[in-house]
Structure 1
């Protein structure tokens, strides 16, 4: 069926949502726009769905959400006993997120699946927690994480609280592809389903239990810690306001100021077009507030509150943003040192990180006698490792997991990155060191002095539409040819994860190991039309590392 034929079918049948119907009418006769909206079905994988909100099979709308939900419902009904068919649902502040969440719930309920949904927007880690707490077969989180406002998405979780495995994603996709969005989707009225009990709001005690688990990650014990540190916090118009401030206040941090313009949920993200704490521009308003309040620490979480970024003052009184790798290494060292100090280090401790996350973490872990497990990009692989340990009765061995994209988790109570836990741990670490006259920058310099300087940078290149997808595929094919040098540095080893390496699932990722303990990782994003390049350079100091990184990046950009 051609994209024009599919478009014409949608014009006739997609009448329930006025926004979609209006857009279909607006693009009439525009072949380029029609092709982009209908040339493919929105990709579904281990990250679920993610795309631009709008009309079309390649867009996020109630029809693509309902089709995916029907496929997931068919999968659950085909793989779980009737009394185990339960799905947890949550959503963030994105445009139409509540509508998409209720659409999904209406489909699940129509298929005889019990639905538990939060009565208000809640972070991704709260969804992961609810899946396990309520013994669900699956969970969905309506979010596009840190993407711009035009995006929304649909993450799918398995019964273990992790995002679905590659195998499960393939089975669910097969079920989705059998569904006709207009003929095969079962649906009931959401409010009616609430009344008859097919859909139930998640009770407050589940959220309270989650908060208590976060507070239980404290490592200071009875030691002195100044909790009057001045904190500025921004939820970046997402879900973090209530859970982050609740955890911090219950832990005794009362000197908290909020970035007013970014405090309340708003899917338009008016002051931060890219609501991502990785990006300097998203943190700019928070830095202004920090300066105005003479704050000790700036915290910001992304819309679904699974990533957290920070800024701290340097010796000159200027605010410095720390990278995800830097924060992760500081937290890892803090967790390890405090566990050793408190006598709570398990017999066979383990830290889990992704292959694109700094190798400095492995050196820190080794210093404390902690094993490092490297997994593929995506926190779900860290979650799967936690589950593996749990099945072996060794869940206490897991002490920390992190990834370079500002994701951290110190406990096994959820199976995804948790910015509530991350914010709580960062504040505790900051206050602990400040009480002893040590800044986080001092601590970071101490780590570099001990283990050597390591520069880690991430570079993203956008490739929109069908032509962009083809270009990315061509780049990866080029990368798989023999490349003897990158930026004048000899390539000593290549890991092509598409072949399957170290027992990891096959993945379209290539890692080049360079002479001098540096590396480059290249991969297409699983959720965005982007190619991502991770550069890691080890050298004697920052100046030398930056010079090498510049040469490496120049070579890579020639291939883009």
Structure 2
């Protein structure tokens, strides 16, 4: 059907009053572009599940698209060998997250599939943990991570607690496309499903077990009780678990940003609740100026990412995801060596778009670095490989440049709860030495060399934007660049057909003279192309200057 036919079908079939009103408004406005954008495609299901703008339409997150996806998952589950497959469900603070979680549970229940639902919003890693702990076949997490408030999403996890593989995603996609969004979705009343035992709320002991597993990753052997902290959960899910684990290790002087403490999917104080961005931390910085802490800590809405800032002179310095990843690796290795708990043949895992500085730090501790594609499921995949060989303990740390970190094997996704604990332990360790984390990072640069990394994001909305992204990636492949920012391109690595043991990916890497490079890839969850800039210099200033010229060149190519 063309988008107009789909729109007319939805006008006829939708019964939900909120969505019905939105469809009526679209019809009365006569805005064809708006209608086309809502219906020109079906929201794509992939390894990251679903993610899209809230609203009426096939290209939107709503109870119908969630129901269709869940019916597809139910059909997939019913084809699995075991007859007793269950599903764990979690949700964040976003608009309609609880509604979508209960919608999914109701659809599963109508298909005779039992689900375990967290009784309140919880962090993403708690869902990964619960999927494993409860031995579920599938996990569903309703979240759009750090996207603006107009978005929501629906992540799907396998029984290993990782986001699903491409093979499982393809199988579920095939099941979804055979489901008519109005005629084939089974459902029942959520409360009735509870009464029948087809839906159960997850017991508190599961969350306690998650926090116990996080606590086991503590590496600091002294009391960090003198650390003073400002914390913001950015109106998301982090408050409960982060403060519980910090209290447990002895950090009690915690000043929570009042305006961002409670869950609120409108994110009224920061339209883009991403701890990578200074705008999201401004309220926290304001509080820092009043209470003068050792550290500002911010977790994103689903508490899988964490960002930090520390005072440097008259301003607050935000440390990048790469910098925090390198600092944490160095700290974990330092503490584990001191405690004689470093395993034989330790392994750290990061991605192809993370800083090369990690290789130098790992080498100093005789740690093997394994690089994977972007997506924490690939880091989880390395943990699974180590488990298969009987040595999961070899995994000591994994991180992505996008502020996601994991220590331990309790979860198979980014975990801002364990990261927050380790960051605070690390901050206290350096505080006792008269340094903050920014100063500790400068010491690492002095030891291993100056690296400047940054990520550029270019947004392309709608159907025209999707075509533009495709055209740009094609152009990078067909027009071989000889130089970027005046630096000679020494080699080009195209991951389209796979590189080494890595699976195929829509990623192009330009290796430049002097050790710098630029990597281009479309986002898997947003209508964006990202450019990762890696600059190496003899000083911090030179590395930044190189990053500036590479960034300027690549930005010009996105016009």
TM-score bucket (shorter structure): over 0.9
Residue matched to 1:437: 434
Q: Structure 1 residue 33: deviation in Å?
A: 1.0
Residue matched to 1:501: 499
Residue matched to 1:24: 23
Task: Compute the TM-score of the two structures, normalised by the length of structure 1.
Answer: 0.98
Is the Cα–Cα contact under 8 Å of residues 225 and 432 in structure 1 kept in the other structure? no
Note the alpha carbon deviations across 1:191-217, whole angstroms, 9 max, x for none: 001111100000000000100111111
Residue matched to 1:346: 343
Note the alpha carbon deviations across 1:53-110, whole angstroms, 9 max, x for none: 0000000000000000011111111124112x11000000000000000000111111
Structure 1 segment 91-170 matched on structure 2, within 5 A: 91-170=91-170
Is the Cα–Cα contact under 8 Å of residues 398 and 405 in structure 2 kept in the other structure? yes
SS in 2 for 1:377: coil
SS in 2 for 1:108: helix
C-alpha distance in 2, partners of 1:137/1:62? 23
Moved more, 238-247 or 106-115: 106-115
Is the Cα–Cα contact under 8 Å of residues 80 and 137 in structure 1 kept in the other structure? no
Residue matched to 2:523: 525
Matched, 1:194 2:191: no
Counterpart of 2:460 (choices 450, 463, 473) is 463
C-alpha distance in 2, partners of 1:138/1:24? 33
Could you say what the CA RMSD is over the residues aligned between the two structures, in angstroms?
A: 0.9
Q: Structure 1 residue 317: deviation in Å?
A: 5.0
Q: Structure 1 residue 342: deviation in Å?
A: 1.0
C-alpha distance in 2, partners of 1:554/1:253? 43
Residue matched to 1:327: 324
SS in 2 for 1:381: helix
Residue matched to 2:535: 537
- The alpha-carbon distance between structure 1 residues 428 and 317, as it changes in their structure 2 partners (threshold 3 A), is farther
C-alpha distance in 2, partners of 1:505/1:66? 31
Residue matched to 1:337: 334
C-alpha distance in 2, partners of 1:12/1:80? 39
C-alpha distance in 2, partners of 1:501/1:113? 40
Is the Cα–Cα contact under 8 Å of residues 226 and 434 in structure 1 kept in the other structure? no
Is the Cα–Cα contact under 8 Å of residues 351 and 401 in structure 1 kept in the other structure? yes
Counterpart of 1:263 (choices 257, 261, 265) is 261
C-alpha distance in 1, partners of 2:426/2:548? 33
Residue matched to 1:14: 14
Q: Structure 1 residue 239: deviation in Å?
A: 0.2
Structure 1 segment 327-476 matched on structure 2, within 5 A: 327-476=324-473
Aligned residues: 555
Note the alpha carbon deviations across 1:211-248, whole angstroms, 9 max, x for none: 01111111123xx3442211010000000010000111
C-alpha distance in 1, partners of 2:546/2:230? 36
Residue matched to 1:60: 61
Moved more, 66-75 or 439-448: 439-448
Is the Cα–Cα contact under 8 Å of residues 225 and 435 in structure 1 kept in the other structure? no
C-alpha distance in 2, partners of 1:431/1:80? 50
Residue matched to 1:512: 510
Note the alpha carbon deviations across 1:425-484, whole angstroms, 9 max, x for none: 000111112123232122211111111000000010000000000000010011112111
C-alpha distance in 2, partners of 1:233/1:304? 15
Note the alpha carbon deviations across 1:109-140, whole angstroms, 9 max, x for none: 11111100000001100000000000000001
C-alpha distance in 1, partners of 2:159/2:388? 14
SS in 2 for 1:78: coil
C-alpha distance in 2, partners of 1:48/1:185? 18
SS in 1 for 2:405: strand
Is the Cα–Cα contact under 8 Å of residues 459 and 534 in structure 1 kept in the other structure? yes
C-alpha distance in 1, partners of 2:502/2:325? 23
Which consecutive aligned stretches of 4+ in structure 1 deviate over 4 angstroms post-superposition? none
C-alpha distance in 2, partners of 1:352/1:71? 33
Note the alpha carbon deviations across 1:287-319, whole angstroms, 9 max, x for none: 1101111111110000000000011122x2532
Residue matched to 1:483: 481
C-alpha distance in 2, partners of 1:428/1:417? 18
C-alpha distance in 1, partners of 2:389/2:17? 52
SS in 1 for 2:554: helix
Is the Cα–Cα contact under 8 Å of residues 224 and 250 in structure 2 kept in the other structure? no
Is the Cα–Cα contact under 8 Å of residues 161 and 415 in structure 1 kept in the other structure? yes
Residue matched to 1:227: 225
C-alpha distance in 2, partners of 1:558/1:478? 14
Q: Structure 1 residue 505: deviation in Å?
A: 1.5
Residue matched to 1:546: 544
Is the Cα–Cα contact under 8 Å of residues 227 and 252 in structure 1 kept in the other structure? yes
Matched, 1:558 2:552: no
Is the Cα–Cα contact under 8 Å of residues 224 and 249 in structure 2 kept in the other structure? no
SS in 2 for 1:141: strand
SS in 2 for 1:233: strand
Question: Please, which runs of 5 or more residues in structure 2 have no aligned partner?
Answer: none
Residue matched to 1:78: 79
Is the Cα–Cα contact under 8 Å of residues 224 and 425 in structure 2 kept in the other structure? no
Residue matched to 2:244: 246
